[in-house]
A and B are shown apart, each in its own frame.
Chain A
Amino acid sequence: MFIINCPYCGERDQSEFSCGGEAHIERPKQPTELSDDQWAEYLFMRKNIKGIQFERWNHAHGCRKWFNVVRDTSNDKIHAVYKMGERPPLK
């Protein structure tokens, strides 16, 4: 049960949030130009890292805003939180 610092609301209990998986996977602008393999890469492939992972989180039971979180999946330490569209902290 970690605490997430929502960039809009501040620190809140994890139970208010839902995780949206790996961050920075952009929906292709022109999906119809893609091969099956390229589309599948976007659609299905996720890294699921043990260690520092960039993730999307939604303050579902709060402001309903989506934002990004840098979390170490091995110990749940959150290293950074930043808004959608902002540049990720150096990887």
Chain B
Amino acid sequence: MSKNLRINKNNFIDQTIRISFKFNGQKLFGFKGDTLASALLANDIHLVGRSFKYHRPRGIMTCGSEEPNAIVQIGNDPSSTEPNVRATEIELYEGLEAYSQNCWPSVNFDIGGINNFLSPLLPAGFYYKTFMWPASFWEKYEFFIRHSAGLGKSPTKPDTDLYDHQYAHCDVLIIGGGISGILSAKLAAEKGLNTILIDDKNCLGGSTIYQEDDCFKINNDYSNKWLKKEIDNFKNYPNLLIKKRTSLAAFHGYNYLLAKENLTDHLGANERKNKIRQRLWKIRAKKVVIATGSIERPLIFNNNDRPGILLSSSIKKYIDFFGVKNGNEISLFTNNDSAYETAISLNKSGVKVNTIIDIRENSTSSLVKKIQKIGINILWGHTIVNTNGYKRIKSINVQKLSANGESVVGKRIKINCDCLGMSGGWTPMVHLFTQSGGKLKFKDKDYIFIPDMNKSPSDQISVGSCNGNFELDDLISNTIKNIKIFLDLDKTIYDNLNVVCSKESEKRNIWLLPSDKPLSKTKPFLDFQNDSTAKDVKLALREGFKSIEHVKRYTTTGMGTDQGKLSNMHALGIIADTTGTNMGDLGTTTFRPPFTPLTFGSIVGRNVGEFFDHTRKTAIHDWHVENNAKFENVGQWKRAWYFPKNNETMFQAVQRESKAARDGAGILDASTLGKIDIQGTDASEFLNRVYTNAWSKLAIGKCRYGLMLNEDGMVYDDGVTTRLGENHYIMTTTTGGAANVLSKLEDYLQTEWPELDVYLTTVTDQYSTISICGPRSKNIVKKIIPDLDLSDVNFPHMSFKNSKIDNVNCRIMRISFTGEHSYEINIQSNYAKDVWIKCMEAGKEFNITPYGTETMHLLRAEKGFIITGQDTDGTLTPSDLQMDWIIGKKKYDFIGKRSLYRSDTIREDRKQLVGLLTEDPLEVLEEGAQLVEDINKKPVEMLGHVTSSYFSPNLKKSIALAVVRSGKKLKGKRLIVPMENKNINVTITDTVFYDKENKRLNA
């Protein structure tokens, strides 16, 4: 049974509500308000994982998002288990199950721990050096690496939780609810500004809210008492929105920010049901106040990574906030005054502080004086040269520092302790400022980077300790002074605050503390998660790495899930010291979003499953569903693909549909084709410029096929355009090209030819298109519209008539994409399904057969009609497609014309569209298959590839279209299609396979 290290304290923890949870299968108890880490520590569990490379035992080190070691897997449900959760951040809830992640087979017996003894063989760049060469070694290592690297397990089943997105616009966004954030929020709200305050914790007030000591007073009250009153008073401001449990993930340009709000992650399973788990806030703020505070630095000394070694400020939070002592005999190691605050807190709670080891020679601040009065032993000018204890620290060895701090002198002192707090000063959290594009400046006096406000990329300000103000009086006065300027305030409620605090008198910063052993025999860890030591950084420098970005990647320092929040500054400091460079000149590594990790769920929000993308359905869609259609996605459209009957395969259905369309009648829902209504006195001239052929002479009531190019001369889109009136056309585009064609045409109209009087309107959704083809199509249309003259003389191919079906206006075009006699009925979409059903009924006696896109493709391939995007790929000119007939030779200009006789486009050996017939008529080629002439000459020369291929039921043989180098000249030539297990012989033919004389158009 584990010990209870809880002291009786009820401010922030509700010790009346007990919560049970499991850690590595062991049932434990904590209280409401605990984090997983505080509950573990209360149960005297420090050892929570193994380090990444050497598998050294590692314990909880911090109490926040900078935690490098206590990374756990939450739950084991395959749809909701979550890896890489920091035990220091997750709130305890009833039934929580957590597992150590970075250990195999178990945290207490860890096979990778052997690496610890092999560590001389695992220097910086180990991964690069070992796994780069020889390649075959990777296989041997992989098993071990995969098992022992401990990156956690991702869920294997779909996430069943709900996630939300919400947009917010505000005058001021304040990031961080510590004292400087609270002051800023109050001033903004007081001015009547629409203000949002976010904080990642469930409790506002930062570290001040548990700072109850007479060394820190505001208006004669303890700083925590004063701040609590200010927070309580927030409810009087309706214009202030407070979002707790909300962490900022990214700060983009123009004050656009992303934040993740946890809504149920702190609740037990019963309370989570039907609730939204997380909400991603997309915030656009006029002004941003960054008040993200600072993180305490560890100290870099030999074996500074044992379980039981924590940041000093974390020990303080665990005792003051959570009521948990981290040991019974605690020592502190520091280079500044912060550790003395911890000592006071521990002393107040009755925890023995054995010794404070301070590398400074002296300090006379009120904090230090208080400790001296209490009688705690302080070893001035000393350092820790080693620590002992494998799974938990047992003792430390201490020696006096030399005057220059580069070595140790005197005799070794051994001090027993079961917990060690270290304080290496503070690092301002400038990540968000730099993410937004801000530049930092180095403050030599404090060894910190702070925001350079002169290089602020947007309307924002950093206040408090993230701006380098660490002492309470400076922090408060500077925050108020700067916010007054930032928000343009005259007088504020905080103008006459009386602040009392301890002032630090001495500073001594040593990035790498010396030991009594040479560096090569020590393990001073820099990056605890990735196991890189000060030695590794020095080795990287010796091996020639100079840039901090390179050293970082080579040693993997700062590349763990904590993103180097603890290690970056020391790495920089050691590089600066070793190379004799000023830290300010080195610069920092780049901080990239996300600042704190986002779940995939919160990123996608509600856009999952059928909401992943927009789905467009035609007006006739329901009929297709009722009639067993299989659908294919064409862009966002759901298009009927084929209509299988009686368990037909796709091949069988398509063969039947294709035959029926030529023998009797076929009907196709062509509503997805893009339709652009073109009007204006210059409409004809406009078409002349955008299509390759001539349009001026097209008579009203006639249709014409057009080919549209890019300026580079390559085919872009095609379709039939009909002249409805003198100044009125309707253009059809391909289904996929509709939106792009419209925007391209708008571009030319607005920017190159603003003088043209032309108006474009998309009517794709307003009109539906029903295409009826086949020898009996005429009979069917006649039945639906009896008074329409369908004679070839009065209604020839490529012409159009306005008509009515049951008093509903419609446009009938006689155009054909199958080579059959056919009609397209265009009708207002809300009538389309009725008209479709009417056609089906009228066509029953002629065996009218609904067909989908696959049959459409097959039928047009029999006729050699191209599909842009399938037979073309943006590299083919009209001439390459053997469509020279469509180039208006007499036209002075059109889009792409000049490119048609560039040196490259007139080459004769360009790839050109041809037909292919297989030697074996039953052999159907694979689309995309390569074409070669000589299979034996190596390397085999690729001449082209198959673009379309089908078995034609009407010709009873396999047909294909292909692009082949110099294809136009190669008619009759035999080529080979090499496949995995055979070579297929083919012959180059015409592109038209069926009805070469076009007799069937008028059949």
Which residue numbers of A lie inside 8 Å of B, CB to CB? 1-3, 13, 18, 20, 26-28, 30-32, 34, 36, 39-40, 43, 56, 58, 60, 64-66, 75-76, 84-85
- The answer, yes or no, to whether B256 is at the interface (CB within 8 Å) is yes
Which residue numbers of B lie inside 8 Å of A, CB to CB? 252-254, 256, 284, 437, 457, 711-712, 743, 746-747, 750-752, 754, 892-893, 897-899, 902-903
Given the complex of chains A and B, what is the CA–CA distance between A18 and B903 in angstroms? 33
CB of A56 within 8 A of CB of B253, answer no
CB of A1 within 8 A of CB of B746, answer no
CB of A75 within 8 A of CB of B437, answer yes
Contact of B892 among A2, A32, A43, A65 (CB under 8 A): A32
For the complex formed, measure the closest distance between the CB of B379 and the CB atoms of chain A, giving whole angstroms: 51
CB of A85 within 8 A of CB of B754, answer yes
CB of B750 within 8 A of CB of A66, answer yes
Q: Which chain B positions have C-beta within 8 A of A27?
A: 711, 752
Contact of B898 among A2, A34, A76 (CB under 8 A): A34
Chain A residue with Cβ nearest B282: A1
Contact of B747 among A20, A76, A85 (CB under 8 A): A20
Q: Which chain B positions have C-beta within 8 A of A40?
A: 902
CB of A1 within 8 A of CB of B253, answer yes
Asked whether A64 and B746 contact (CB < 8 A) given A36-B902, A84-B751, the answer is yes
CB of B898 within 8 A of CB of A56, answer no
CB of B252 within 8 A of CB of A43, answer no
Given the complex of chains A and B, what is the CA–CA distance between A26 and B711 in angstroms? 13
Asked whether A76 and B897 contact (CB < 8 A) given A32-B892, A56-B751, A60-B743, the answer is no
30 contacts between A and B (CB under 8 A): A1-B253, A1-B254, A2-B254, A3-B254, A3-B284, A13-B284, A18-B743, A27-B752, A31-B893, A32-B892, A32-B897, A32-B898, A36-B902, A39-B899, A39-B902, A43-B711, A43-B899, A56-B751, A58-B743, A58-B747, A64-B743, A64-B746, A65-B750, A66-B746, A66-B751, A75-B437, A75-B457, A76-B253, A76-B254, A84-B754
Q: Which chain B positions have C-beta within 8 A of A66?
A: 746-747, 750-751
CB of A43 within 8 A of CB of B712, answer yes
Given the complex of chains A and B, what is the CA–CA distance between A58 and B745 in angstroms? 13
Q: Which chain A positions have C-beta within 8 A of B254?
A: 1-3, 76
Chain A residue with Cβ nearest B902: A36
Given the complex of chains A and B, what is the CA–CA distance between A23 and B899 in angstroms? 21
Q: Which chain B positions have C-beta within 8 A of A65?
A: 750
CB of A2 within 8 A of CB of B897, answer no
Chain B residue with Cβ nearest A20: B747
CB of B893 within 8 A of CB of A32, answer yes
CB of B897 within 8 A of CB of A31, answer yes
Given the complex of chains A and B, what is the CA–CA distance between A85 and B722 in angstroms? 32
Given the complex of chains A and B, what is the CA–CA distance between A63 and B15 in angstroms? 60
Of A1, A18, A32, A64, most buried by chain B (CB within 10 Å of CB) is A1
For the complex formed, measure the closest distance between the CB of A59 and the CB atoms of chain B, giving whole angstroms: 11
Given the complex of chains A and B, what is the CA–CA distance between A32 and B899 in angstroms? 9
Given the complex of chains A and B, what is the CA–CA distance between A64 and B903 in angstroms? 36
Q: Which chain A positions have C-beta within 8 A of B893?
A: 30-32
Given the complex of chains A and B, what is the CA–CA distance between A32 and B901 in angstroms? 10
Chain A residue with Cβ nearest B748: A27
Q: Which chain A positions have C-beta within 8 A of B252?
A: 1
Given the complex of chains A and B, what is the CA–CA distance between A18 and B746 in angstroms? 13
Q: Assuming A39-B899, A43-B711, A65-B750, what are 11 further A-B pairs, CB within 8 angstroms?
A: A2-B254, A13-B284, A20-B747, A30-B893, A32-B898, A36-B903, A43-B899, A60-B743, A64-B746, A66-B746, A85-B754
For the complex formed, measure the closest distance between the CB of A88 and the CB atoms of chain B, giving whole angstroms: 14
Q: Which chain A positions have C-beta within 8 A of B750?
A: 65-66, 84
Given the complex of chains A and B, what is the CA–CA distance between A13 and B253 in angstroms? 12
Given the complex of chains A and B, what is the CA–CA distance between A40 and B457 in angstroms? 38
Chain B residue with Cβ nearest A83: B750
For the complex formed, measure the closest distance between the CB of A23 and the CB atoms of chain B, giving whole angstroms: 9
Given the complex of chains A and B, what is the CA–CA distance between A76 and B899 in angstroms? 34
For the complex formed, measure the closest distance between the CB of B287 and the CB atoms of chain A, giving whole angstroms: 14
Given the complex of chains A and B, what is the CA–CA distance between A67 and B101 in angstroms? 54
Chain A residue with Cβ nearest B255: A3
Q: Which chain B positions have C-beta within 8 A of A13?
A: 284
Given the complex of chains A and B, what is the CA–CA distance between A22 and B256 in angstroms? 26
Asked whether A39 and B898 contact (CB < 8 A) given A1-B254, A2-B253, A66-B746, the answer is yes
Chain A residue with Cβ nearest B258: A1
For the complex formed, measure the closest distance between the CB of A61 and the CB atoms of chain B, giving whole angstroms: 11
Chain A residue with Cβ nearest B253: A76
Top 7 nearest A-B pairs (CB, nearest first) are: A31-B898, A1-B256, A66-B750, A2-B254, A27-B752, A76-B253, A1-B252
Q: Which chain A positions have C-beta within 8 A of B457?
A: 75
Given the complex of chains A and B, what is the CA–CA distance between A39 and B897 in angstroms? 11
Q: Which chain A positions have C-beta within 8 A of B752?
A: 26-27
Q: Which chain B positions have C-beta within 8 A of A34?
A: 898
Chain A residue with Cβ nearest B711: A43
Of B457, B746, B751, most buried by chain A (CB within 10 Å of CB) is B751
Given the complex of chains A and B, what is the CA–CA distance between A15 and B756 in angstroms? 30
Chain A residue with Cβ nearest B905: A36
Given the complex of chains A and B, what is the CA–CA distance between A4 and B75 in angstroms? 45
For the complex formed, measure the closest distance between the CB of A45 and the CB atoms of chain B, giving whole angstroms: 13
For the complex formed, measure the closest distance between the CB of A58 and the CB atoms of chain B, giving whole angstroms: 7
Chain B residue with Cβ nearest A23: B751
Q: Which chain B positions have C-beta within 8 A of A2?
A: 253-254, 256
Q: Which chain B positions have C-beta within 8 A of A26?
A: 752
Q: Which chain B positions have C-beta within 8 A of A56?
A: 751
For the complex formed, measure the closest distance between the CB of A13 and the CB atoms of chain B, giving whole angstroms: 8
Given the complex of chains A and B, what is the CA–CA distance between A76 and B458 in angstroms? 11
Given the complex of chains A and B, what is the CA–CA distance between A6 and B754 in angstroms? 19
Given the complex of chains A and B, what is the CA–CA distance between A75 and B256 in angstroms? 14
Given the complex of chains A and B, what is the CA–CA distance between A58 and B746 in angstroms? 10
Q: Which chain B positions have C-beta within 8 A of A39?
A: 898-899, 902
Q: Which chain B positions have C-beta within 8 A of A18?
A: 743
For the complex formed, measure the closest distance between the CB of B685 and the CB atoms of chain A, giving whole angstroms: 15
Q: Which chain A positions have C-beta within 8 A of B754?
A: 84-85
Q: Which chain B positions have C-beta within 8 A of A32?
A: 892-893, 897-898
Q: Which chain B positions have C-beta within 8 A of A43?
A: 711-712, 899
Of A32, A43, A60, most buried by chain B (CB within 10 Å of CB) is A43
For the complex formed, measure the closest distance between the CB of A91 and the CB atoms of chain B, giving whole angstroms: 19
For the complex formed, measure the closest distance between the CB of A3 and the CB atoms of chain B, giving whole angstroms: 5
For the complex formed, measure the closest distance between the CB of B258 and the CB atoms of chain A, giving whole angstroms: 10
Given the complex of chains A and B, what is the CA–CA distance between A56 and B752 in angstroms? 12
Given the complex of chains A and B, what is the CA–CA distance between A40 and B437 in angstroms? 37
Q: Which chain B positions have C-beta within 8 A of A75?
A: 253, 437, 457
Chain A residue with Cβ nearest B746: A64
Q: Which chain A positions have C-beta within 8 A of B897?
A: 31-32
Chain B residue with Cβ nearest A34: B898
Q: Which chain B positions have C-beta within 8 A of A84?
A: 750-751, 754
Chain B residue with Cβ nearest A39: B898
Given the complex of chains A and B, what is the CA–CA distance between A16 and B544 in angstroms? 48
Q: Which chain B positions have C-beta within 8 A of A3?
A: 254, 284
Given the complex of chains A and B, what is the CA–CA distance between A31 and B754 in angstroms? 18
Given the complex of chains A and B, what is the CA–CA distance between A34 and B897 in angstroms? 12
Given the complex of chains A and B, what is the CA–CA distance between A39 and B902 in angstroms? 9
For the complex formed, measure the closest distance between the CB of B234 and the CB atoms of chain A, giving whole angstroms: 30
Given the complex of chains A and B, what is the CA–CA distance between A60 and B746 in angstroms? 10
Given the complex of chains A and B, what is the CA–CA distance between A70 and B169 in angstroms? 26
Given the complex of chains A and B, what is the CA–CA distance between A61 and B752 in angstroms? 21
Q: Which chain A positions have C-beta within 8 A of B256?
A: 1-2
Of A13, A18, A34, A65, most buried by chain B (CB within 10 Å of CB) is A13
For the complex formed, measure the closest distance between the CB of A49 and the CB atoms of chain B, giving whole angstroms: 18
Given the complex of chains A and B, what is the CA–CA distance between A30 and B903 in angstroms? 19
For the complex formed, measure the closest distance between the CB of B602 and the CB atoms of chain A, giving whole angstroms: 17
Q: Which chain A positions have C-beta within 8 A of B899?
A: 39, 43
Chain B residue with Cβ nearest A26: B752
Given the complex of chains A and B, what is the CA–CA distance between A20 and B253 in angstroms? 21
Q: Which chain B positions have C-beta within 8 A of A60?
A: 743
Q: Which chain A positions have C-beta within 8 A of B902?
A: 36, 39-40
Given the complex of chains A and B, what is the CA–CA distance between A26 and B754 in angstroms? 13
Chain B residue with Cβ nearest A60: B743
Of A60, A64, A84, most buried by chain B (CB within 10 Å of CB) is A64
